[in-house]
Amino acid sequence: MKAKNQRLMLAALAMIAVVAAGLLALSALKDQAAFFYAPSDVKKDGLPLGKAVRLGGMVVAGSIKRAADGVTLRFAVTDGQATTPVTFRGIAPDLFREKSGVVAEGQFQPDGGFVATNLLAKHDEKYMPPELAGKMHETKSLKQ
């Protein structure tokens, strides 16, 4: 085999290996990706059962209830159009409070509730997750 043909064959094999590695990485990430939902998305599109997702919105005033065990929280998240009940077992972030933005990571239950495994709270008064900010603006424009 000529040197030119060997180089072409090596380059082709390298390209095939890079494409195969990329496809393998994408297939592995597909199962680990967490999608973002607002409560109105869930109401409109249905519950994404059995998937790791993120639910974002504002914590409804007066909705935070602490269980007797001291680590279980129940609260509601809203985006202005719909509300979703959330249960979280663990230590909530210091900035987690009513009327503030929150993104909960977890899974939806068949009864329509959301069981969170992690809570992400806002970091200052003007912060809102980019995905939620877009949803809130859409909600306001639809009401007008």
pLDDT tens, position by position, 116-134? 999 988 655 555 666 666 6
Residue recorded with tokens 């202005």:
80
Q: Please, are residues 101 and 127 in contact by the beta-carbon 8 Å criterion?
A: yes
Q: What pLDDT is attached to residue 115?
A: 92
Residue recorded with tokens 């900035």:
95
Q: Share the mean pLDDT of the chain.
A: 81
Q: What is the 3-state secondary structure (H, E, C) of the chain?
A: CCHHHHHHHHHHHHHHHHHHHHHHHHHHHHHHCCEEECHHHHHHHCCCECCCEEEEEEECCCCCEECCCCCEEEEEEECCCCEEEEEEECCCCCCCCCCCEEEEEEEECCCCCEEEEEEEECCCCCCCCHHHHHHHHHHHHHHC
Q: What pLDDT is attached to residue 92?
A: 85
Query: Please, which pLDDT band fits residue 144 given cuts at 50, 70 and 90?
Result: very low
Rounded CA-CA distance 76/88 in Å is 11
Rounded CA-CA distance 32/14 in Å is 28
Report whether pLDDT(13) > 60: yes
Q: What pLDDT is attached to residue 38?
A: 86
pLDDT, tens digit (0-9, with 9 covering 90-100), for 14-61: 999 999 999 988 887 766 565 778 888 877 777 778 788 888 888 999
- What count of other Cβ atoms lies within 10 Å of the Cβ of residue 14? 10
Quote the pTM value: 0.63
Query: Please, which pLDDT band fits residue 97 given cuts at 50, 70 and 90?
Result: confident
Q: What pLDDT is attached to residue 130?
A: 65
Q: What pLDDT is attached to residue 16?
A: 95
